[in-house]
């Protein structure tokens, strides 16, 4: 999409939509042709004077994955595909199953066999076929690769261009919700990386259009110490992430041992003067409960990791004082219990 300098936000934002479709001026799909369940435009919940939570649990199917799947399913259906397929840690599968149902297109999802049952049942409830595969999301992806039919369209993270376009709307929403400004720090639980990369793209677009200057929120990628390829890449100054051996975490969305967009995450973190934090696995579930108790949002384990990282970064003095910090609750916690 070609963006012009000095673009009036009013020519991009259509405020008649209380959903991500309000950003129709920078989206590859228009709402009139979209497969939509009214996704996005989620609230920013104030916690204290310098802390907010963006509550992505309020999306259809309860996670930020709805944003990308709405866009990607809309694009794929316009091409006339027969079946939509994707590997998933749980949330992307639920979203794909729902949007496939809304579009009237068959869905096949492959998930690790230890994925919490609620995600599996959710997919079946929407009429999707579910394949449970030993191992991680990488093994699920391999299984799909070996079992594909000619009419299948693969919606794997960053293997098609539209999911990231849906997720970039999180960045646009923050700009509006911070009244034409952005938080100083954004803490994001990171697995495959499209959430982080999508917002990074949105900020670049906004600068091109003259909405913001060159300053950026410092992006923080949070992982479990049981699977932390991005943290390892930052620590060792790598350009690309290395595959993480024997990945283990109950924050299933973070169990991505070899993220295809790892190099883009590393670039986004460095360019924004951000960082990456590995939270001890044993702290993650208690931190999700602490986050819910402190904020009232239904925090998923991935968000619990982000909440724990906030504590660590404040203890280290990496953030503090007047910094306005935004933590993402990327999905609902109830499906994990
Ligand atoms: C709840 C939740 N949080 C965070 C993530 C990680 O998101 P990304 O793959 O965009 O880094 C996932 C991915 O499955 C997830 O389900």
Query: What per-residue confidence (pLDDT) applies to 158?
Result: 76
In whole angstroms, what is the distance from residue 237 CA to residue 218 CA?
18
Query: What per-residue confidence (pLDDT) applies to 314?
Result: 98
* Residues 311 and 188 reside in one and the same domain: yes
In whole angstroms, what is the distance from residue 333 CA to residue 12 CA?
34
- Centre of ligand 1 to C-alpha 254, Å, is 6
Query: What per-residue confidence (pLDDT) applies to 47?
Result: 98
Q: Does some domain include residue 6?
A: no
* Residues 55 and 70 reside in one and the same domain: no
Domain boundary among 133, 154, 175: 154
Domain boundary among 121, 154, 187: 154
User: Cα 277–289–320 angle (5° rounding)?
Assistant: 45
- Comparison of pLDDT for 159 and 187, the residue scoring more: 187
* DSSP string across 83-119: EEEEE-SSHHHHHHHHHHHHHT-EEEEEEETTS-HHH
pLDDT for 40 beyond 80: yes
Looking from the CA of residue 194, the nearest atom of ligand 1 is 10
Contact 45, 83 (CB under 8 A): no
- Strands 152-154, 83-87: pairing kind: parallel
* Residues 56 and 196 reside in one and the same domain: yes
Query: pLDDT digit string (tens) for 150-186?
Result: 999 999 987 889 999 999 999 999 999 999 999 999 9
Query: pLDDT digit string (tens) for 313-337?
Result: 999 999 999 999 999 999 999 999 9
* Residues 286 and 150 reside in one and the same domain: no
Q: Among 26, 21, 27, which Cα is nearest to 3's? A: 26
In whole angstroms, what is the distance from residue 249 CA to residue 234 CA?
20
In whole angstroms, what is the distance from residue 126 CA to residue 132 CA?
17
Q: Does some domain include residue 20?
A: no
- Centre of ligand 1 to C-alpha 164, Å, is 12
Helices (H), 153-193: 162-167, 169-177
Contact 133, 110 (CB under 8 A): yes
Mean pLDDT, all residues of the chain? 97
Query: What per-residue confidence (pLDDT) applies to 1?
Result: 74
- Centre of ligand 1 to C-alpha 83, Å, is 23
In whole angstroms, what is the distance from residue 199 CA to residue 205 CA?
10
Where does the pLDDT of residue 126 fall: very low under 50, low under 70, confident under 90, or very high at 90 and above? very high
Ligand 1, CB cutoff 6 Å, lining residues: 63, 89, 91-92, 157, 189-195, 253, 300, 302, 330-331
Give the pair of three-digit tokens for residue 329. 């609750």
Contact 306, 188 (CB under 8 A): yes
Query: pLDDT digit string (tens) for 290-316?
Result: 999 999 999 999 999 999 999 999 999
* Residues 136 and 179 reside in one and the same domain: no
- Centre of ligand 1 to C-alpha 256, Å, is 9
Query: What per-residue confidence (pLDDT) applies to 278?
Result: 98
Looking from the CA of residue 195, the nearest atom of ligand 1 is 10
- Total domain count for the chain? 2
Looking from the CA of residue 191, the nearest atom of ligand 1 is 11
pLDDT for 236 beyond 80: yes
pLDDT for 2 beyond 90: no
* Residues 177 and 126 reside in one and the same domain: no
- Centre of ligand 1 to C-alpha 58, Å, is 15
- Tokens 């923080």 correspond to what residue? 220
Domain boundary among 154, 171, 188: 154
Q: What is the CATH number of the domain that holds 273?
A: 3.40.50.1100
Q: Please enumerate in sequence order all residues whose Cβ is within 8 A of that of 222, keeping only pairs 6 or more positions apart, or say none.
A: 187, 188, 189, 190, 254, 276, 277, 279, 305, 306, 308, 309
- Tokens 């051996």 correspond to what residue? 245
* Residues 258 and 120 reside in one and the same domain: no
Domain span including residue 148: 65-154
* Residues 90 and 119 reside in one and the same domain: yes
């Amino acid at each position: 999409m070609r963006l012009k300098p000095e673009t009036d936000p009013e020519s991009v934002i259509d405020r008649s939509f209380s959903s991500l479709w309000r950003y129709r001026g920078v989206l590859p799909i228009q709402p009139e042709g979209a497969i939509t369940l009214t996704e996005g435009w989620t609230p920013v919940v104030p916690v204290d004077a310098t802390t907010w939570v963006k509550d992505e649990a309020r999306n259809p199917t309860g996670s930020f994955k709805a944003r990308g799947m709405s866009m990607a399913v809309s694009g794929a259906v316009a091409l006339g595909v027969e079946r939509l397929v994707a590997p998933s840690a749980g949330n992307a599968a639920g979203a794909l199953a729902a949007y496939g149902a809304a579009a009237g297109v068959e869905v096949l999802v492959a998930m690790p066999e230890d994925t919490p049952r609620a995600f599996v049942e959710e997919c079946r409830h929407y009429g999707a076929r579910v394949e449970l595969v030993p191992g991680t999301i990488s093994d699920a992806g391999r299984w799909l690769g070996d079992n594909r039919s000619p009419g299948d369209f693969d919606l794997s993270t960053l293997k098609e261009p539209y999911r990231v376009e849906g997720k970039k709307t999180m960045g646009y929403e923050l700009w509006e919700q911070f009244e034409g400004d952005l938080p100083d720090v954004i803490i994001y639980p990171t697995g495959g990386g499209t959430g982080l990369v999508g917002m990074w793209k949105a900020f670049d677009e906004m600068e091109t259009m003259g909405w913001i200057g060159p300053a950026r929120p410092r992006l923080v990628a949070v992982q479990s110490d049981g699977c932390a390829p991005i943290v390892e890449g930052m620590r060792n100054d790598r350009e690309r992430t290395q595959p993480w051996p024997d990945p283990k975490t109950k924050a299933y969305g973070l169990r991505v041992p070899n993220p295809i967009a790892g190099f883009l995450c590393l670039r986004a973190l460095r360019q924004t003067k951000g960082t990456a934090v590995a939270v001890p696995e044993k702290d993650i579930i208690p931190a999700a409960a602490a986050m819910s108790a402190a904020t009232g949002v239904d925090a998923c384990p991935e968000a619990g990791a982000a909440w724990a990282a906030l504590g660590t970064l404040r203890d280290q003095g990496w953030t503090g004082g007047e910094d306005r910090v935004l933590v993402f609750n990327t999905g609902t916690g109830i499906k994990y219990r």
